[in-house]
């Protein structure tokens, strides 16, 4: 005999429908999702117009996505979910570099560059970033790979300004030397707002939240036999360093981009004086065998 679908048995009825799911992990995920979602609905008790508005919002988020823009990542970032997932999945050794969000503007293929190259194709306040990649035991990681991307000194990524910035501007794939060391030239990035021309921006406005991210440079650092890390380096004196719209700032990732006036040092790096200099070390965890 059929059982009436009620507020009391709704979650159980839906969870039971997943009982024959072959993949046990998928069954666990779907069961937990249903119970939490039903609990949320019972708590909030949305009206039918509010539920339709929620569906319209999610539809708009999907419609805003394309090969250059991922609004669902932006939505996840703005809710702090991206950082929560990163934090849960980075429960490694305390000495390793902290992970952060990938962000909506990463591209699959950054242009390969040589150590010391400039990733800036347009000009701005000159900046040099130096550092090294090592394992948790202090061993340098020769040949470590660094995928680097950042916003311009006006706060835009190349994919946001295809008519202004050349494709691949402020992006680069670098390979560390035999000592795990690397360096490159760039410009000092600016703080910037996350995109507000879509549904996520409308949500921030409706909730009186600012959309700004402090100035930073993105890195994905990887090496053979080690767990890769997706992270940022934040400019210490940037506005919004204490109120990142996507909750990605960690104290260990903040660096001084100090002003260097010395002409000889500037000449050694191939930049004019004064310039800004930042130094960073990335520490990777060894990958467990098997």
Q: Is residue 167 part of a domain?
A: yes
- Same domain assignment for residues 94 and 208: yes
Do 238 and 275 fall within a single domain?
yes
On whether residue 8 sits in a domain, the answer given is no
Q: How far is Cα 137 from Cα 270, in angstroms, rounded to an integer?
A: 33
Residues 101 and 195 in one domain: yes
Q: Is residue 2 part of a domain?
A: no
Same domain, 51 and 112: no
Q: b or e along 245-264 (b: 16 or more beta carbons within 10 Å of the residue's beta carbon)?
A: bbbbbbeebbbebeebeeee
The per-residue pLDDT for range 139-178, each reduced to its tens digit, is 999 999 999 999 999 999 998 899 999 999 999 999 999 9
- Whether the link from the prior residue into 274 is cis, omega within 30° of 0, is yes
In this prediction, residue 67 carries a pLDDT of 80
Q: Which two tokens stand for residue 185?
A: 């030239």
The pLDDT of residue 1 is 45
User: What's the distance, CA 267 to chain centroid?
Assistant: 33
**What pLDDT does residue 289 have?**
64
The answer to whether position 13 is within a domain reads no
Last-in-domain residue among 36, 60, 84: 60
232: domain CATH number? 2.60.130.10
Q: Are residues 50 and 115 in the same domain?
A: no
Considering the domain architecture, whether residues 50 and 159 belong to the same structural domain is answered as no
Cα–Cα distance, 40 to 44 (Å, whole number): 6
Largest CA distance in the chain: 87
Q: Same domain for 52 and 160?
A: no
- Pair 193, 259 in one domain: yes
- What is the C-alpha to C-alpha distance for residues 232 and 219, in angstroms, rounded to an integer? 6
**What number of residues does the chain have?**
290
**Considering the domain boundaries, does residue 255 fall inside one?**
yes
Report the number of distinct structural domains present in the chain. 2
pLDDT of residue 69: 83
User: Which of 60, 82, 111 is the last residue in one of the domains?
Assistant: 60
User: Where are the extended beta strands (E) located within the chain?
Assistant: 126-135, 145-150, 171-175, 181-187, 192-193, 212-213, 216-222, 226-227, 229-235, 254-255, 258-260, 275-286
pLDDT of 290: 53
Give the burial string for 26-57 (b: 16+ CB within 10 Å, else e): eeeebbeebeeebeeeeeeeeeeeeeeeeeee
Domain-embedded: residue 11? no
Neighbours of 156 (CB within 10 A): 17
pTM here is 0.89
Residue pair 185/270 in contact (Cβ under 8 Å)? The answer is yes
Q: Is residue 5 assigned to a domain?
A: no
Using the 3D structure, point to which of 60, 82, 110 is the last residue of a domain: 60
Share of residues in the chain with pLDDT > 70 (%): 98
Do 41 and 94 reside in the same domain of the chain? Answer: no
Which DSSP symbol is given to 253? G
| pLDDT for the residue numbered 167 | 92
Residue ranges of the chain with pLDDT lower than 70? 1-2, 92-93, 289-290
Q: Does residue 80 share a domain with residue 210?
A: yes
For residue 142, being part of any structural domain is answered with: yes
Buried b / exposed e across 158-170, counting CB within 10 Å, b at 16+?
A: bbbeeeebeebbb
Residues 191 and 83 in one domain: yes
Give yes or no: residues 135 and 260 share one domain. Answer: yes
74, β-bridge pairs: none
What is the domain range of residue 50? 22-60
């Amino acid at each position: 005999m059929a059982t009436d679908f009620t507020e009391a048995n709704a979650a159980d009825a839906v969870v039971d429908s997943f009982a024959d799911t072959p993949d046990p992990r998928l069954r666990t995920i779907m069961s937990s999702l249903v119970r939490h979602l039903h609990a949320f609905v019972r708590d909030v008790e949305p009206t039918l117009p509010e539920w339709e508005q929620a569906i319209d919002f999610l539809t708009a988020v999907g419609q805003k996505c394309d090969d250059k823009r991922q609004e669902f990542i932006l939505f996840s970032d703005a809710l702090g979910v991206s950082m929560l997932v990163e934090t849960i999945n980075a429960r490694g050794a305390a000495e390793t570099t902290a992970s952060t969000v990938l962000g909506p503007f990463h591209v699959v293929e950054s242009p390969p560059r040589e150590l010391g190259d400039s990733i800036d194709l347009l000009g701005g306040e000159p900046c040099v970033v130096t550092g090294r990649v090592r394992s948790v035991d202090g061993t340098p990681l020769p040949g470590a790979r660094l995928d680097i991307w950042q916003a311009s000194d006006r706060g835009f990524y190349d994919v946001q300004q295809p008519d202004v910035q050349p494709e691949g501007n402020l992006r680069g794939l670098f390979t560390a030397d035999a000592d795990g060391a690397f360096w490159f030239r760039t410009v000092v990035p600016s703080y910037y707002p996350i995109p507000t021309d879509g549904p996520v921006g409308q949500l921030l406005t409706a909730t009186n939240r600012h959309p700004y991210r402090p100035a930073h440079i993105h890195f994905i650092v990887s090496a053979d036999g080690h767990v890769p890390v997706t992270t940022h380096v934040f400019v210490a004196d940037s506005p919004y360093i204490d109120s990142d719209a996507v909750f990605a700032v960690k104290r260990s990732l903040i660096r001084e981009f100090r002003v260097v006036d010395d002409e000889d040092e500037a000449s050694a790096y191939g930049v004019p004086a004064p310039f800004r200099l930042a130094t960073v070390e990335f520490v990777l965890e060894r990958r467990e065998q098997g």
